A and B are shown apart, each in its own frame.
Chain A
Amino acid sequence: MTERAAPIVEVSDLTVSFSGKPVLDAVTLSLWTGRITVLVGSSGSGKTTLLRAINRLNECFPHCRTEGAVRLKLEGRSGDIYKDFLPLPEVRRRVGMVFQTPAVLPFSILKNLTLPLRVTLGIWGNVLSDRVERALQEVSLWDEVKDRLQDAATTLSGGQQQRLCLARILALEPRVLLLDEPTASLDFRTTHKIEELLARLKERYAILAVSHSLSQVRRLADRVLVLREGRIAQELDPQHLQDTHAFQALLDEVF
Chain B
Amino acid sequence: MQKTLDRLLTCLAWLSGGGTLLAVSLLLVFLASHGMPGIDAALFFGDTPWLDALLARKPIFGGIWPALVGTFSLVFLASVFSIPLGIASGIYLAEYASDHRHSLLDFMVDLLSGTPSIVMGLFGFTAILALRKTFLPGARTGLLLAGLCIGLLVLPYVIRTTESALEGIPDHLRLLGPSLGLTRWQNINKVLLPLAGRGILSGAILAVGRAAEDTAVILLTGVVAHAGIPGSLADKFEALPFRIYYLAAEHRSPQELEQGFATALVLLLLTGLLFLAAVLLQRSVERRWKTR
A174–B182 Cα distance when bound, in Å, is 14
B176 touches A106 (CB 8 A): no
**Complex-state Cα separation, A96 to B178, whole angstroms:** 10
Q: Which residue of B lies closest to A118 (CB)?
A: B190
CB A148 to nearest CB in B, in angstroms, measures: 12
Cβ 8 A contact of B175, one of A60, A107, A116? A60
* Across-interface contacts of B289 in A (CB, < 8 A): 107
- Which A30-80 residues have a C-beta within 8 angstroms of B? 55, 57, 60, 62
The prevalent SS among residues of B at the interface is: helix
Contacts of A119 in B (CB 8 A): 182, 186, 190
Stretch at the interface among A97-105, A136-144, A214-222: A97-105
Query: Does A238 have its Cβ within 8 Å of any Cβ on chain B?
Result: no
Is B290 among interface residues, defined by CB-CB distance under 8 A?
Answer: yes
Residues of A with C-beta under 8 A to B194: 105, 107
Q: Would A152 and B290 count as touching, CB distance under 8 A? A: yes
- The residues of B that contact A172 with a CB separation of less than 8 Å are 180-181
Q: Does A134 contact B (CB under 8 A)?
A: no
Cβ–Cβ contact A93 & B180, under 8 A: yes
Q: Given A99-B172, A99-B175, A103-B172, is A110 in contact with B291 using a C-beta cutoff of 8 Å?
A: yes
Q: Tally chain A residues at the interface, Cβ within 8 Å.
A: 30
Q: Which residues of A contact B173 (CB under 8 A)?
A: 103, 105
Which residues of chain A come closer than 8 Å to B186, judged between CB atoms? 119-120
Q: With both chains docked as a complex, state the minimum distance between the C-beta of A151 and any C-beta of chain B, in angstroms.
A: 10
Q: A172 CA to B180 CA in the complex, in Å? A: 8
Q: Which of B150-193 touch A at CB < 8 Å?
A: 172-183, 186, 190-191
Q: Is the CB of B181 within 8 A of A92?
A: yes
- Minimal beta-carbon separation of B206 from chain A (angstroms): 24
Specify which chain B residues have a CB less than 8 angstroms from the CB of A212 in the assembled complex: none
When chains A and B are docked, how far (Å) is the Cα of A60 from the Cα of B177? 11
Q: Please determine whether A89 and B181 come into contact, CB atoms closer than 8 angstroms.
A: yes
Kindly state the separation between the CA atoms of A116 and B175 in the bound complex, as whole angstroms: 13
Question: Would you call A90 an interface residue if the criterion is a C-beta within 8 Å of the partner chain's C-beta atoms?
Answer: yes
Chain A: which residue is nearest B181 at the CB level? A93
Question: Which residues of chain B from 260 to 292 have any CB-CB distance to chain A below 8 Å in the complex?
Answer: 289-292
Q: How far is the CA of A57 from the CA of B174 in the complex (A)?
A: 11
Say if the beta carbon of B77 comes within 8 Å of chain A. no
Residues in B whose Cβ lies below 8 Å from that of A108: 290-291
Q: Is the CB of B290 within 8 A of A111?
A: yes
Residue numbers in B under 8 Å from A96 (CB-CB)? 179-180
Task: Give CA–CA (A120, B176) in the complex, Å.
Answer: 13
Interface mask (B116-147 → A, CB under 8 Å = 1, otherwise 0)? 00000000000000000000000000000000
Which residues of the other chain, B, contact A88 by a CB distance below 8 angstroms? 183
A169-B180 in contact (CB<8A): yes
Q: Given the complex, which residues of A lie within 8 Å of B190, measured CB to CB? A: 115, 119
Q: Interface centre among B176, B179, B190, by most A CB within 10 Å? A: B179
Q: For the complex, is A175 an interface residue (Cβ under 8 Å from B)?
A: no
Residues of B contacting A90 in the complex (Cβ-Cβ under 8 angstroms)? 181
A188 to B150, CA, bound (A): 60
Contact of B291 among A57, A100, A111, A120 (CB under 8 A): A111
Instruction: Give the complex CA separation of A103 and B176 in angstroms.
Output: 7
Does any Cβ of B come within 8 Å of A131's Cβ?
Answer: no
Asked if B181 and A168 make an inter-chain contact with CB atoms under 8 angstroms apart, the answer reads no
Whether A150 sits at the interface, judged by CB under 8 Å, is yes
Q: In the complex, which residues of chain A have a beta carbon less than 8 angstroms from the beta carbon of B180?
A: 92-93, 96, 116, 120, 168-169, 172
Q: Which residues of B in the span 84-103 have a Cβ within 8 Å of any Cβ on A?
A: 99
Contact flag A107-B172 (CB < 8 Å), given A60-B178, A119-B190, A168-B180: no
Are A116 and B181 CB-contacts (below 8 A) given A106-B195, A107-B290, A111-B292?
yes
**B77, chain A: closest CB distance, angstroms:** 34
A97 touches B179 (CB 8 A): yes
- A113 CB to closest chain B CB (Å) equals 10
Let me know if A89 and B290 touch, CB within 8 A. no
Nearest Cβ on chain A to B79's Cβ, whole angstroms = 27
Q: Which residue of A lies closest to B289 (CB)?
A: A107
State A115–B174 Cα separation when bound (angstroms): 15
| Cβ A101 vs Cβ B172 within 8 A | yes
Which residues of B are in contact with A by a Cβ distance under 8 Å?
A: 99, 172-183, 186, 190-191, 194-195, 289-292
Residues of A within 8 A of B (CB): 55, 57, 60, 62, 88-90, 92-93, 96-97, 99-101, 103, 105-108, 110-111, 115-116, 119-120, 150, 152, 168-169, 172
14 contacts between A and B (CB under 8 A): A60-B178, A90-B181, A92-B179, A92-B180, A93-B181, A100-B172, A105-B176, A105-B195, A106-B195, A108-B290, A115-B191, A116-B177, A119-B190, A169-B180
